[in-house]
A and B are shown apart, each in its own frame.
Chain A
Amino acid sequence: MTAYDVHELMVTRVAAEVDEDGVTVMGSFTPLAYASYMLAKLTHAPNAYLVGFDAVGMAPIQLSFTGAEAAAYKGAVCRWGMLTEINSIHLSNHGGVEAVSSAQFDGDGAINLSTIGPFDKPKVRLPGGAGAAEVIKMYRKMIAYFGNHNSRTLVDKVEFVTGTRWKVGAEARRKAGLQPGPIIVVTNLAVLVKDEDGEPFRIESVHPGVDPQMVVENTGFALDVPSEVPTTAEPTEQQLELLRNRIDPFGTVKFDFLSGKERLPYLKGILDAEWKRAEARVR
């Protein structure tokens, strides 16, 4: 077994949810989500239908901070704009698997990307949710991922609901004109699942070496803990090879897992490598 980092296990677990049913729109370059979709496309779901930026039906791409957007257009079969994507994918119920992250997330499947503190005069003004307010409700599967599983992020109730899954159970979702499908939370400790309204998230699996009690202690909302909690599947040699050598050779996914001081030097290192590769073509 090759040693691996937890962000690699998170990528393989999110990738496992990606299938060939429906369309996924990725907005800006979010490395973990992008890596998961690319891994799925290179393995079990080659026909997963992806939109990146305005590139519709894109080919799998190599990840980089400066090249992801350009790469998305290179193998794409169509170009749309934001409003066409909204009307043709989100609102017409073609959305497949949506992966999001947020500053706060709660046991109802609500996200906060708006504010910490009062809305009109916040302590921290967060970026805003872009389309997430509507989209996490519309998609068949909602995946929320968090690199640092703690009770400040996974809270009992978010301070402000930017958006929410709204209806969770299959029947309630069908009645509301939505595609049935679960909420799946993938963190650095565990996988949590919710597929009924009025029921708590349950621990689907813990990552190797993690005790279910540790997950409970680090989660701000109630959890259903089954008597036997399975261990999350580890990345295979083939998955690690694809991730490290083909999908993400610059190491963009790891960036989001670094703490304050490490981040800037690491980012500079990646950008330096991206610059050198491009510069070699023109010098």
Chain B
Amino acid sequence: MTPPPTDKVVPLDELGDLVADGESVAFGGGWFANHPMAAVRQLIRAGRKDIHAITVVGSVDMDLLAAAGVLGHLSFSMVTLEAFGLAPNVRKAIETASVPFTEYTGLGLLIGLEAQGRGMPFLPYRGPFGSDLPARYPEIYATTTCPFTGEELTAVRALQPDVAIVHALRCDAEGNAQWDGTSGPDVDMAKAARRVIVTCEEIVDRSVIAQNPHMTKLPGYYVDAVVEAPFGAHPTSHIPRYSMDAWELMDYAGQAGTDEFGGYVDRIRSESEDDYRARVLTGRDVVLAALVDAAETLEGANL
């Protein structure tokens, strides 16, 4: 007889219990795409603090964590609000030296995760020669040589987050997670972390996953918890479901550097994720989905 499938489903309002204060947490997504924002909001609601956040290309996720006082350390290769400017709360945290930080080179950070994911203490690569960053972090970057040719290479130390949190399109109760758009660093963060939380647009039956197994980028044996969070990347995008919410982001960027911003964070703290969706997404959800449909490719002109 087949044993019943493992059930790792956890409600979103218990997500805060899965992360302890002081732990390192890698957050998936990149740019304004697919950050696990429902999880970010829930960590804020749970009052988590002293979290060492790890991001490859962070945006509103890192800025909101900084604003809410969740961060104890920030490791990143980039944090930006792109068209809406520099990330004001991350800037403030670093410029006032109130949050210690580690600035990785982008490839170095991902190769550090790759090393951990395949059980290596470090990996060599043709690194950021000439950059001032490696010398700042001798505990992360070193110089090594090819044992066969003597070529000088950069060694980057394995990076093991305590937790990785990534947002998928759909996932079953065992944690088999599928993406159809931007997955960015999600899979490699998950492979490197001690524990993995997958939030997803919808939890589906295993048979739905098995219909399109080529879309499963993270198999369930890596995953510890599965959390359903519709619009869980909002206000960043989850393609092909919805585009980034540029209007919410513009609103965010307009307030984020001001003294009144405490109110924005307090409101997120005091409402549930259902309240958040009702407040921000009512009437807007269909337009964010339509923005994906409206996006156009161009037929070759080549006149």
Interface residue ranges, A against B (CB under 8 Å): 27-29, 38, 41-43, 46, 53-54, 59-62, 64-71, 73-75, 79, 81-83, 86, 90-91, 110, 113-114, 119-135, 137-138, 160-166, 177, 238, 242, 246-247, 255, 264, 267-268, 271, 274-275, 277-279, 281-282
A22 to chain B, nearest CB (A): 16
Closest to B113 in A: A83
Q: What residues of B have a CB within 8 angstroms of the CB of A61 in the complex?
A: 295-298
A110 to B129, CA, bound (A): 11
Is the C-beta of B144 less than 8 angstroms from some C-beta in chain A?
Answer: no
Is the C-beta of B258 less than 8 angstroms from some C-beta in chain A?
Answer: no
Q: What residues of A have a CB within 8 angstroms of the CB of B103 in the complex?
A: 114, 128
Q: What residues of A have a CB within 8 angstroms of the CB of B246 in the complex?
A: 65-66, 271, 274
- Asked if residues B297 and A27 are in contact (CB atoms below 8 Å), the reply is no
In chain B between 76 and 117, which residues have their CB closer than 8 angstroms to a CB of chain A? Answer: 76-80, 82-83, 86-87, 90-91, 94-97, 103, 105-108, 110-111, 113-114
Point out which of B78, B136, B295 has the most chain A C-beta atoms below 10 A from its C-beta. Answer: B295
Listed by A's residue number, 10 A-B pairs whose Cβ atoms lie within 8 Å are: A53-B31, A60-B297, A67-B243, A83-B111, A83-B188, A125-B86, A129-B105, A133-B128, A133-B131, A278-B294
Question: Which of B13-21, B179-187, B201-209 participates in binding chain A?
Answer: B179-187
Count of A-B contacts with CB under 8 A? 241
Q: Tell which of B186, B240, B291 touches A73, judged by Cβ atoms closer than 8 Å.
A: B240
Q: What residues of A have a CB within 8 angstroms of the CB of B31 in the complex?
A: 27-29, 53
Q: 3 smallest A-B Cβ distances: which pairs?
A: A67-B295, A131-B106, A133-B105
Closest to B134 in A: A133
- Count residues of B near A (Cβ-Cβ below 8 Å): 76
Q: Is the interface of B mostly helix, strand, loop or mixed?
A: mixed
- Asked if residues B86 and A126 are in contact (CB atoms below 8 Å), the reply is yes
Given A54-B183, A281-B293, are A162 and B244 neighbors across the interface (CB < 8 Å)?
Answer: no
Is the C-beta of B287 less than 8 angstroms from some C-beta in chain A?
Answer: yes
Interface residue ranges, B against A (CB under 8 Å): 30-33, 56-57, 76-80, 82-83, 86-87, 90-91, 94-97, 103, 105-108, 110-111, 113-114, 125-133, 136, 151, 179-188, 217, 237, 239-240, 243-244, 246-247, 250, 286-287, 289-298, 300-303
Q: Tell which of B97, B185, B300 touches A46, judged by Cβ atoms closer than 8 Å.
A: B300
A70 to B267, CA, bound (A): 31
Identify 14 new A-B residue pairs, CB closer than 8 A, beyond the known A62-B297, A83-B111: A64-B295, A66-B291, A67-B296, A69-B237, A69-B243, A71-B295, A71-B296, A122-B95, A128-B79, A130-B78, A133-B77, A177-B151, A279-B287, A282-B289
